[in-house]
Amino acid sequence: MKPFQEPDIRQAGPALPANRGDLSRTVLRALRGGPGAESPLSSGAAADEADPYGEDLHLALYLCYELHYRGFRGVDPAWEWDPELLRLRAGLEGRFLDALRADTTRHTDIDEAFAGILVEPLDGTGLSHHLRDEGELWQLREYAAQRSLYHLKEADPHAWVIPRLRGRAKAAMVAVEFDEFGAGHADRMHSQLFADLMTDLDLDTTYGRYVDAATGEMLASVNLMSMFGLHRALRGALVGHFAAVEVTSSPASRRLVEAMHRAGAGAAAVHFYAEHVEADAVHEQVVRRDVVGGMLEEEPWLAADVAFGIDATDLLDARLGTKTLAAWRDGLSSLRTPL
């Protein structure tokens, strides 16, 4: 007797994207077939020489991770735990992690790591600064299209850490996530509020719709939280990531409220960021005091991992901002394919 039902591969889900190189092509070829001995994964491209921040590696990694979220239309759900695919994914993750650890040696403790993200840049060169001061409606639409890769599943990657926490840290994490998920109201879930924002900006709210348009830098940012969330050994880094998001969200959201008003966006677009100005100002205190503080009371040896999570988040956000602003300042689309 088979342990599971025959999978229904007609399940709803996003369509598979186009490949961006040998690694992603190998994964896509595999997913279009069934798991098993004939899989092309064992003879496919290796991650050893791939650019650890490149779009080919990160699309391949994104494809692996999305099997743990909503999957893909026509793809057998059994791929989620296929040993060959997990082996390939481990190689991709190792390449990415090695690069992150090499490039984030700035801070060795929590206070130093937080100090690096609590100070606003004096020259106001970030994405939210540009959108507030100079941004045009088409740039806000591009920003939202890219961010949809995360915001349409907002809070989902962070939920994986809940069973790995104890005591005060777990209770506080659940309290913050409860708010993120709308406090029991589907129409107030932050993912739904972002879908409403997209509708306001005349964007397609279909989950995964803008993967082909998103840059490798955006894929890397989304993959970071999935990688941290899926590995218990990286639970400290995920808490660091979550803290970095909450600490920086409120001031950036305030600027984006102004940007939406200035560009003439609708009420739903404004509301998404207005909600984050208030909610994340509270969340920041809870996360720093109770989630981070509670975790380190129980497991003080994870302090360096929390700092690494903060630094890695800051690094990838900076890469995404630099890439996006460079395109906009040249009058070009920041996306691989313009909207």
**Together in a domain, 144 and 264:** yes
66, 86, 101: which is the final residue of a domain?
A: 101
d(CA 282, CA 269): 21
DSSP codes joined into one string, 231-265: -GGGHHHHHHHHHHHHHHHHHHHHHHHHHHHHHT-
The enclosing domain of 120 has a CATH number of 1.20.910.10
Asked whether residue 9 is domain-assigned, the answer is no
C-alpha triplet 204, 207, 213: angle, nearest 5°: 65
Give, in order, the Cα–Cα distances in Å from 303 to each of 108, 237, 294, 323: 8, 9, 11, 31
Residue 182 confidence (pLDDT)? 93
**Together in a domain, 174 and 64:** no
Residue 36 confidence (pLDDT)? 74
pLDDT (tens digit, 9 = 90+) per residue, 3-43? 455 556 556 789 999 999 999 999 999 999 888 756 667 65
69, 101, 133: which is the final residue of a domain?
A: 101
Asked whether residue 14 is domain-assigned, the answer is no
**Together in a domain, 231 and 130:** yes
**Together in a domain, 184 and 96:** no
**Together in a domain, 89 and 238:** no
**Together in a domain, 233 and 181:** yes
pLDDT (tens digit, 9 = 90+) per residue, 123-170? 567 899 999 999 999 999 999 999 999 999 999 999 999 999 999 999
Please give the average per-residue pLDDT across 302-315, as a whole number.
Answer: 94
Range of the domain at 281: 108-329
**Together in a domain, 184 and 312:** yes
**Together in a domain, 33 and 113:** no
Asked whether residue 190 is domain-assigned, the answer is yes
Residue 291 confidence (pLDDT)? 95
Cα first-last separation, the chain: 50
Asked whether residue 317 is domain-assigned, the answer is yes
Query: Phi/psi class of residue 21: alpha, beta or left (left: φ > 0; alpha: ψ in -120 to 50)?
Result: left
The per-residue pLDDT of the chain, averaged, comes to 90
d(CA 186, CA 204): 19
pTM of the model: 0.93
Asked whether residue 62 is domain-assigned, the answer is yes
Amino acid occupying residue 159: A
Asked whether residue 15 is domain-assigned, the answer is no
Please say if the pLDDT value at position 277 is more than 50: yes
Domain count, the chain: 2
Please give the average per-residue pLDDT across 229-234, as a whole number.
Answer: 98
**Together in a domain, 198 and 321:** yes
Backbone φ and ψ for 114, nearest 5 degrees, come out as -65, -40
Looking at the chain, list the stretches that DSSP marks H as alpha helix, in order from N- to C-terminal side. 22-31, 55-66, 83-103, 110-118, 127-133, 137-151, 156-159, 167-180, 190-200, 216-230, 235-263, 267-286, 293-298, 303-329
Asked whether residue 156 is domain-assigned, the answer is yes
With beta carbons less than 8 A apart as the criterion, state whether 298 and 166 touch. yes
**Together in a domain, 115 and 210:** yes
**Together in a domain, 300 and 156:** yes
Highest mean pLDDT among 45-54, 102-111, 319-328: 319-328
d(CA 23, CA 58): 9
Which residues contact residue 231 at a Cβ distance below 8 angstroms, ignoring those fewer than 6 apart? none
Please give the average per-residue pLDDT across 294-321, as a whole number.
Answer: 94
Give 303 or 120, the one with higher predicted confidence. 303
**Together in a domain, 131 and 44:** no
Asked whether residue 10 is domain-assigned, the answer is no
77, 101, 125: which is the final residue of a domain?
A: 101
